[in-house]
Structure 1
Amino acid sequence: MPDYKRTPADTYDELFVPALFQQWAPIVLDAARVVPGNTILDVACGTGVLALAAAERVGPSGAVAALDATPEMLAVARRKSTTIDWHDGMAEVLPFADDSFDAVVSQFGMMFFNDRSAAMREMFRVLRPGGRLAIAVCDSLENSPGYAAFAALLEHLFGDSIADAFRAPFVLGDPKLLMSICSNAGIADAEVYQHAGVVRFESIASLVSTERACAWTLGGLLDDAQFEQLSKESERALQGFVAPDGTIAFEMPALIVTARKP
Structure 2
Amino acid sequence: MNQTLAAQTETAARAPAEVYDEEFVPAVFSHWGPVLCDAAGVTSGQRVLDVACGTGALTVAVADRVLPGGAALGLDANAQMLAVARRKHSAIEWFEGPAESLPFEDATFDAVVSQFGLMFFTDRIAALREMWRVLRPGGRLAVAVCDDVEHSPGYASLAALLDRLFGKRIGDAFRAPFVLGDGDALRALCTGADIANARIVQRHRTVRFASIDALVSTERACAWTLGGVLDDQQFEKLRREAQSTFAPFIDTCGRVAFEMPALIITATKN
Q: TM-score with structure 1 length normalisation?
A: 0.97
Q: 1:215 aligns with which of 198, 203, 223?
A: 223
Q: 1:89 aligns with which of 89, 97, 103?
A: 97
SS at match of 1:23: helix
The answer to whether the aligner puts 1:73 opposite 2:86 as a matched pair is no
Cross-structure match for 1:233: 241
Cross-structure match for 2:4: none
**Cα separation, 1, equivalents of 2:169 and 2:77:** 25
Shift of 1:80: 1.3
Which string of whole-angstrom CA distances, capped at 9 and with x for unpartnered residues, describes residues 35-78 of structure 1?
00000000000000000111111011000111001111001001
**Cα separation, 2, equivalents of 1:244 and 1:55:** 37
**Cα separation, 2, equivalents of 1:224 and 1:164:** 19
Q: What is the identity, as a one-letter code, of the residue corresponding to 2:190? A: C
**Cα separation, 1, equivalents of 2:86 and 2:14:** 15
**Cα separation, 2, equivalents of 1:142 and 1:225:** 27
Q: What is the identity, as a one-letter code, of the residue corresponding to 2:167? A: G
Query: Where do residues 4-43 of structure 1 align in structure 2 (5 Å cutoff)?
Result: 6-43=14-51
Q: 1:159 aligns with which of 154, 167, 173?
A: 167
Going from structure 1 to structure 2, the CA distance change for 1:75 and 1:6 (only over 3 Å counts) comes to farther
Cross-structure match for 1:124: 132
Q: What is the identity, as a one-letter code, of the residue corresponding to 1:172? A: L
The answer to whether the aligner puts 1:57 opposite 2:65 as a matched pair is yes
Q: What is the identity, as a one-letter code, of the residue corresponding to 2:213? A: A
**Cα separation, 1, equivalents of 2:14 and 2:241:** 29
Q: 2:143 aligns with which of 128, 135, 144?
A: 135
The answer to whether the aligner puts 1:103 opposite 2:111 as a matched pair is yes
**Cα separation, 1, equivalents of 2:14 and 2:50:** 24
Shift of 1:202: 0.6
Cross-structure match for 1:114: 122
Query: Where do residues 161-200 of structure 1 align in structure 2 (5 Å cutoff)?
Result: 161-200=169-208
Identity of aligned residues (%): 62
**Cα separation, 2, equivalents of 1:207 and 1:119:** 31
| Aligned length in residues | 258
SS at match of 1:136: strand
Shift of 1:157: 0.8
Q: What is the identity, as a one-letter code, of the residue corresponding to 1:82? A: S
Shift of 1:219: 0.6
Q: What is the identity, as a one-letter code, of the residue corresponding to 1:258? A: T
Root-mean-square deviation (CA), in Å? 0.9
Structure 1 unmatched ranges of 5 or more: none
Shift of 1:82: 2.3
Post-superposition, which runs of at least 4 consecutive aligned residues in structure 1 deviate over 4 A?
none
Shift of 1:161: 1.5
Going from structure 1 to structure 2, the CA distance change for 1:32 and 1:250 (only over 3 Å counts) comes to same
SS at match of 1:220: coil
SS at match of 2:171: helix
Cross-structure match for 1:251: 259
